[in-house]
Amino acid sequence: MESGANLFPDREALGELLERLYDRYDSPDFIGDDPICIPHRFTRREDIEIAGFLSSTIAWGNRKIIVRNGRRLMELMDDSPFDFVMHAAPREIESLRRFVHRTFNGDDLVAYVAALRRLWTEHGGIGAFFEREYAGAGDLRPVLSRFRSAFFGAEHPARTEKHLSSVDRGAACKRLNMYLRWMVRRDDRGVDFGLWTGIPASALYLPLDVHTASMGRALGLLARRQNDWRAVEEITGALRTFDPDDPVRFDFALFGAGMDGFLKN
């Protein structure tokens, strides 16, 4: 298929397709090999927030390897991520240095744990930070910028910054937007958590990756060629015309269809 070709110029047909794909993929059956299965191991809000943040941080590459390394990461934190972040002794934190996932290594993980401990101490947690900042801004884009500044607000290895995308530099911030989807959407299908009730699902931006972008272009939801923040705004805006209250509920639909080779069928 030619890149950028629009398979569904008919809006009604496109809407019906999106709903079919949503019904097919937005299901607990789809999450077993997805990074979201890592925070689903927990019931305590703080554990879910930290497990979700760390597993979304390493969510690039092969999904099975991501899940395997996410489980290993939780084991290194004694399967109690919040207690570990807040109370681990220096020797316990040093044990994290043997962790590695692609370019995210143990030094990065140690820096992340220190940043998370500071976030809880100074801001009351990740969710508290995002909900408070969103209440003032009314848009998640500037909140993404403020979160990154707060996260790296103390001494840390310069190399670690590459693992938390910068919206100010035009990055798509796929992993942060995915994490926000997990925490914000109230999903009665058992997929997303809906913990952060101070942020409406309508405010979310689509986690844009190679699969959602390819499907978006093929379906006429995205014209921009670069997978950057402007593309995120464009495709999210298109999805809002189909569901203004919950546009990113189509994330798994686009991702799953793209991963399963929908465009080749």
Domain boundaries, the chain: 1-30+205-265, 34-200
Strand partners, 105: 100
Average pLDDT, the chain: 93
Q: Rounded CA gap, 191 and 53, in Å?
A: 16
Q: Per-residue confidence at 262, pLDDT binned at 50, 70, 90?
A: confident
Question: Taking CA 171 as the corner, what is the angle to CA 96 and CA 34, rounded to the nearest 5 degrees?
Answer: 50
Quick one: average pLDDT of 56-71? 95
Which own/partner contact pairs does 102-110 have at CB distance under 8 Å and 24+ positions apart?
102/58, 102/60, 102/61, 103/162, 103/163, 104/57, 104/58, 104/163, 107/157, 107/159, 107/160, 108/157, 108/159, 108/160, 108/163, 109/54, 109/73
Q: Per-residue confidence at 28, pLDDT binned at 50, 70, 90?
A: confident
Task: Please tell me the number of Cα atoms within 13 Å of 223 on its side-chain side.
Answer: 2
The reported pLDDT for the residue numbered 265 is 57
**Inter-residue contact 32 to 41 (CB < 8 Å):** no
Residue-wise over 243-256: b if at least 16 C-beta within 10 A, else e? beebbbbbbbbbbb
* Percent of the chain at pLDDT exceeding 90: 86
The reported pLDDT for the residue numbered 7 is 58
**Inter-residue contact 57 to 175 (CB < 8 Å):** yes
**Inter-residue contact 239 to 178 (CB < 8 Å):** no
The reported pLDDT for the residue numbered 264 is 66
| Angstrom distances, CA of residue 244 to CA of 171, 186, 209, 239 | 24, 15, 21, 8
13 contact partners, CB below 8 Å, separation of at least 6: none
Q: What share of the chain is helix, strand, coil (3-state, %, to 5)?
A: 65, 0, 35
- pLDDT of 261 > 80? The answer is no
Quick one: average pLDDT of 236-242? 97
Put simply, whether the predicted model's pTM sits higher than 0.85 gets the answer yes
The reported pLDDT for the residue numbered 99 is 97
Quick one: average pLDDT of 70-91? 97
Q: Per-residue confidence at 1, pLDDT binned at 50, 70, 90?
A: very low
Q: Rounded CA gap, 63 and 69, in Å?
A: 10
